[in-house]
Amino acid sequence: MKIFFVGAGTPTPTQKRFGTCYVVQIDEAYLMFDCGPAATHKMVKMGLFPTQIDYLFFSHHHFDHNADYPCFLLCRWDQSIGRENILQVFGPPPTTWITERLIGSDGAFSHDWRARVGHPGSQDIFVGRGGRLPRPEPHVDVKDIEAGAVIEDAGWKLITARAAHIEPWMPTLAYRLEASGKRIVFSSDTGFCKSVIELARGANYLLVHCWGQQETMKRAESRMITGTVDAAKLAAEAKVETLVLSHIGHDLDRTGSREKGLMDIARFYKGEIIWADELMTLDLQS
Ligand SMILES: [Zn+2]
């Protein structure tokens, strides 16, 4: 089992990170969590390919978590030859609405796929790749879900809970993945909150999105995303084995600031701490 940190950043692009996307490999299954800027290209740089991904779960619909969704959908469809599984997409509303408006029959990208389905040159390329005509139109199974939803397939189970991020403008979900005897929790963007602590209770890994030095964050800010101390307290309260810091803000990510942040975290949380870099792979030994 592996976690690919395809995107470990925020809405602020830096040379090191931009936006959020994780892929979890469980044997032959690949589960994707969020689809932030350039996720499709970054995953290919890591040795993954869009057609391998059969599940995509959105935490919420800020652009740093979904901006590459049209690219991923179109690329996965374009590279498919008809033998792949149908992509299953889950997320809080308006996941279905967004999907329809991207690749539906009147979607923003329908002119792209109609041309690729209909033009003889595009058909030749499709057949050359191993496809059989007529070329199918893009189709994904998409479902809006709410906190409390449970999703399972062979070898894994996902449990969802509310994350305290940007309500009431958009609902946000945290995900707990149970597979191969491991419990991994993706908090997504959240302030310190009870529902995420309950979801993360006893997990092996808790991925927390950490924005900045706690003392530099204003009150409203720290209600929507954790700073260093709140991330540590989440992990300590939930008694997790390993705290993985991701979605790290640009100020916190600087040399010096990073070391101070880690020291502050270690005052409140005594387990293992991992500072996630973008394009990093974490091997989860069973
Ligand atoms: Zn974010």
> In this structure, are strands 272-275 and 182-186 parallel, antiparallel, or unpaired?
unpaired
Distance between CA 144 and CA 73 in Å, rounded? 17
Ligand 1: centre distance to CA 53 (Å): 22
The answer, as to whether pTM is greater than 0.95, is: yes
Strands (DSSP E) along the chain, which ranges?
2-8, 20-26, 29-33, 55-57, 88-91, 141-144, 150-153, 156-162, 173-179, 182-186, 205-209, 242-246, 272-275, 280-283
Q: Which of 230, 256, 252 is CA-nearest to residue 243?
A: 230
**What's the CATH code of the domain at 135?**
3.60.15.10
pLDDT values of the chain reduced to their tens digit, one per residue, 286 residues = 999 999 999 999 999 999 999 999 999 999 999 999 999 999 999 999 999 999 999 999 999 999 999 999 999 999 999 899 999 999 999 999 999 999 999 999 999 999 999 999 999 999 999 999 999 999 999 999 999 999 999 999 999 999 999 889 999 999 999 999 999 999 999 999 999 999 999 999 999 999 999 999 998 888 999 999 999 999 999 999 999 999 999 999 999 999 999 999 999 999 999 999 999 999 997 6
- Residue 219 confidence (pLDDT): 87
Paired tokens of 87: 């992509």
* 250 Cα to the center of ligand 1, angstroms: 13
Q: What is the largest CA-CA distance in the chain?
A: 64
Domain with 178, as residue range(s), is 2-283
Structure confidence at residue 3 (pLDDT): 98
- Ligand 1 centroid to 99 CA: how many Å? 20
- What's the pLDDT score for residue 217? 93
Q: How far is the CA of 82 from the centre of ligand 1 (A)?
A: 34
